[in-house]
Structure 1
């Protein structure tokens, strides 16, 4: 294919009009508030609900599961029904989930609310990335995810101090402020002629659930994932135009981009969870001091990623990919063996820059692989990044055990 990634994005099916880039950032960025916002308030949650920290952590686990499952499901809905349908469904999910976590009396209900918010945020993020019709605008969307994620733990703590931990859990609701602006841009739904592939969607959901569970229950989850993959292969042969298009599943370029994206995310999130221990070893700082200092490299990496994604439209894809892999490799080598705190922080920033840039750059590239499957392709790429968020910390824990 000779079409440049930037040009491919510009002629995507979502070209009917333009949503301002700040609205796209607001539509997507709050997803990071749900992932990282509760990090410093789980102790308060556990104390008020009368449960242990491990039980309270299910709020974060449920959000992660909802985002992982919701990403391909909402991408499929976007491809078939268009922007307005996804915004309506996801807006209701986010609003309902926020109400539940604010008013729910018990942990199981709060877990449901957290999962509902995550499903909605997943769809809003996929929509924002599909409405980003240039490399520059895609960079703004993915940079917003990284930048918001870098400050989310501190923001969550501040909101809990000013209001309550329930308000912290409901922070993703701010994404609804961008829904009206995005709704003015409507992607035409898929012409009728094929019914929704329910078995395909169920298999993809089962596979995502199994993969998310691998770090927690390795053996049974891995077996379930393998069995589901085999069933999905059979389904692809029976329905090549189904929920998971065969054109994507059989594309070496698409699969390669997803694989590199997964690796970049594994490196970034692995370093994120290893960094506090390494910083404590180097400095003797308190956890609060470490948390504050860690904002800087991740904020820097997220902010710089916008420049990288914006410039990628003028560079060869192979060169950009090699540079991102190089940055992630350098971070992997530097961080564990850093002899000084500034070097360690530089390695953290490099890992953040590689992952945040890769998410935006590869989202543009996969849209050029098969333009008719752009929403699904972008959704599956994001799924790989989310799996990296699950696998990175688990791999770090195994290596440090």
Structure 2
């Protein structure tokens, strides 16, 4: 980790740069979760008003998920090559454009494009926020905001739909724009980096990520495309070691371990989120409203408690957290497998939620510390990509197990 991420630095004007307050970074990152979890309760309303099937309108959510997956490394590269100000303003413009499309043009193509634009922008905001953190506590606040917003997003979006419209619920990610003035005011000084851009590497990684996103849905074709894209990217790394995916990141064992464990924890947590409603409905005969209210609390607990957990483990060795958080997730899965009592299932969800939210922050801090000074923003983009892929794979794996 660079020294500027740990101690105040001096700008060109000679003033002391103490970094961006963690509260602004949390506000910048947290609303991304509205785009992931928020539409779950309002899609039926959208389908009815548009005269479409529920399956058709789910492309709104699919577009957002695809956009945050490819936007995470792309916007991290923009941050790395063009500096914080240009990256922030570009992401803000994408979010604003997406919000306008969603609110003003109620047709499926416009909604899909608007959702994708918001996904690209919020992915960049989240990566920027994590790269600007200067301590384990501030990293914990950022990741806790993502988990906490995600736990409450369905209910908040449903309330927004009732008070305003379902279109208003789809633009809740735009709340992250409120943080832009504060982040710009406190952003680190100094000139923007001028490293050359690697378009071939960007195209290859985008193709690889796109294939991976569709692996759970069409694994033979998407799997083959992912293998081919990964092979071409590896060959490209040999000729361009300082390109879009720097070799210095790929060769950092701690970074690879942290990213792999983040993928695992996300897959387990989001898989549990998918399975739990069906289990509660089957075992307790609860209504969808009762299930939604019940699941809110373990997810909220995981998000809020993760801040303290990350702070407590801030100075723990990598090996310790590499055992602790996967152990919590395994305990949650074990409880869910051993008992069908609603109370036990909710405790299981609380454990997997705590493990994922805490692991995201703890492993992100260690991943950032494991790479060279100039690769921090890029590393955060690649790390978040792994976590988001886990979030995409988890429900698909759970569906296969349930079937």
Partner of 1:113: 114
Shift of 1:11: 4.9
Q: Is residue 2:322 matched to residue 1:321?
A: yes
Shift of 1:315: 1.7
Indicate conservation of the 8 Å contact 1:23/1:181, yes or no: yes
- Give the Cα–Cα distance (whole angstroms) in 2 for the partners of residues 317 and 336 of structure 1: 29
If the length of structure 2 is used for normalisation, what is the TM-score?
0.95
Indicate conservation of the 8 Å contact 2:20/2:183, yes or no: yes
If the length of structure 1 is used for normalisation, what is the TM-score?
0.95
Render the CA deviation track for 1:186-239: whole Å, top value 9, x for unaligned. Answer: 4545543x4210000111111111111111211111111000001001110000
The answer to which of 340-349 and 291-300 deviates more is 340-349
Render the CA deviation track for 1:153-208: whole Å, top value 9, x for unaligned. Answer: 0111000000000000111111100000101214545543x421000011111111
Unpaired segments ≥5 residues, structure 1: none
CA change 1:191–1:157 in 2 (3 A) is closer
Shift of 1:321: 1.9
Partner of 1:85: 86
Partner of 1:134: 135
Partner of 1:10: 6
- Give the Cα–Cα distance (whole angstroms) in 1 for the partners of residues 90 and 4 of structure 2: 28
Indicate conservation of the 8 Å contact 2:8/2:17, yes or no: no
Q: 1:395 aligns with which of 394, 397, 400?
A: 397
- Give the Cα–Cα distance (whole angstroms) in 1 for the partners of residues 90 and 191 of structure 2: 15
Indicate conservation of the 8 Å contact 2:271/2:397, yes or no: yes
CA change 1:75–1:12 in 2 (3 A) is farther
Partner of 1:386: 388
SS state of the match for residue 136, structure 1? helix
5 Å matches for 1:1-400? 9-11=5-7, 16-184=17-185, 185-186=187-188, 188=190, 191-192=193-194, 194-370=195-371, 371-400=373-402
- Give the Cα–Cα distance (whole angstroms) in 2 for the partners of residues 269 and 181 of structure 1: 32
Render the CA deviation track for 1:78-134: whole Å, top value 9, x for unaligned. Answer: 111221111100000000000000011310111000000000000111111111110
SS state of the match for residue 52, structure 2? coil
Unpaired segments ≥5 residues, structure 2: none
- Give the Cα–Cα distance (whole angstroms) in 2 for the partners of residues 186 and 165 of structure 1: 38
Indicate conservation of the 8 Å contact 2:258/2:364, yes or no: no
Q: How many residues are treated as equivalent by the alignment?
A: 396
Q: Indicate the RMSD between aligned Cα atoms, in angstroms.
A: 1.8
Indicate conservation of the 8 Å contact 2:161/2:169, yes or no: yes
SS state of the match for residue 286, structure 2? coil
Indicate conservation of the 8 Å contact 1:136/1:311, yes or no: no
- Give the Cα–Cα distance (whole angstroms) in 2 for the partners of residues 303 and 42 of structure 1: 27
Indicate conservation of the 8 Å contact 2:254/2:366, yes or no: no
Shift of 1:345: 0.8
- Give the Cα–Cα distance (whole angstroms) in 2 for the partners of residues 256 and 318 of structure 1: 10
- Give the Cα–Cα distance (whole angstroms) in 2 for the partners of residues 19 and 86 of structure 1: 15
CA change 1:137–1:349 in 2 (3 A) is same
- Give the Cα–Cα distance (whole angstroms) in 1 for the partners of residues 2 and 224 of structure 2: 40
- Give the Cα–Cα distance (whole angstroms) in 2 for the partners of residues 277 and 89 of structure 1: 41
